[in-house]
A and B are shown apart, each in its own frame.
Chain A
């Protein structure tokens, strides 16, 4: 356990823990777009910047990304100092220029008092902020189907050769984790399309609802100790089934379940 001070309040933190996770636990709101509990901290959006100092720093302060800065004894953190807010406004100013059509960025910028970007906006912006959340989550899943392609201002997140990525299993993790909702997919007539690749969706044997892609189910079955028919029914039907089973124990549970 280490003791740190956040905005004047003494707070206990675990050793090796990052400052942002302490802030989250304490309910102190700091914007962060690339941070996700499923991922290692990436530090790419820079919005979680905080000001740190220590009693023996003679009044010197330092601005760090809280998602990447481990706590240490006696650390003094301020999350909303004028300097930090100014940095956040600058970052949002740039993000707004890069993603002029993104609702998420617009809202966040407005909240911080950035109504309009002071830079030229990027023409034909796809709203991607290059946070790598999608490629990182794909790697965590063990697939690495997509990656950054090219570099500098030409850099985009894409599949190899722009074709249907051979390693993609249609799990939609990339699309769901994307903070600015850039990655598009479509579920239609029992087919899922993402990254120009088409997948067969499993339909629930009981209610006929479409659930996950066949490739994703196969991958999970291969990775985890799951009964082979687990994905043949949807979550709702499984819950219903369980409720009926428990109905034997409780009177009137059948009506409740239905």
Chain B
């Protein structure tokens, strides 16, 4: 979805210039566009009367925020301790090879984004892979690619 100035403004205006809503505004923007468009960062700073540098600092601090466009499907491979022990590396290799992108990258057709995260909190079902926030546990190497495609 291409960011539209009006849409951005509409999302930001829902918070009535409340400074303390900075993270919520950024989350809302990300939910709508799948990433935080740079125009959104500038507009947020203006609307909340927070220095641009501060908004940018917050937007880059949290790893859940992305300032670059991401694919339709966001795949998160858990590399927490339990998943790592259970072979998350092999799953990552499979998916990377299958989608032809490395961790942190987005495929050129904007379909897939691959991310590596440190623990999603379901260690009992390790190794875990999240596809657009849907959790898949006990992932097997041979089935890994099917899950995400």
Contact = CB atoms under 8 A, between A and B. Distances in A.
A148 B57 contact: yes
Given A160-B41, A161-B38, A145 B60 contact: no
A151 B55 CA distance: 14
A160 B39 CA distance: 12
Interface string B45-71: 000000111111100110000000000
A50 to B, nearest CB: 31
Interface string B90-117: 0000000000000000000000000000
Given A149-B60, A150-B61, A151-B61, A144 B54 contact: yes
Interface residues of B, number: 11
B52 A149 contact: no
A159 B53 contact: yes
Q: Chain A interface secondary structure, helix, strand, loop or mixed?
A: loop
A160 B61 contact: no
A21 B52 CA distance: 33
A123 to B, nearest CB: 21
Given A160-B41, A161-B38, A145 B53 contact: yes
A91 to B, nearest CB: 25
Interface in B6-52: 38, 41, 51-52
B57 to A, nearest CB: 4
B22 to A, nearest CB: 13
Contacts of A143: 51
Contacts of A159: 53
Interface of B: 38, 41, 51-57, 60-61
Interchain residue pairs A-B with the least CB separation, the first 4:
A144-B51, A147-B53, A160-B56, A147-B57
Given A139-B51, A148-B57, A148-B61, 16 more contacts: A135-B53, A143-B51, A144-B51, A144-B53, A147-B54, A149-B56, A150-B61, A151-B61, A160-B52, A160-B53, A160-B56, A161-B38, A165-B52, A166-B52, A167-B51, A167-B52
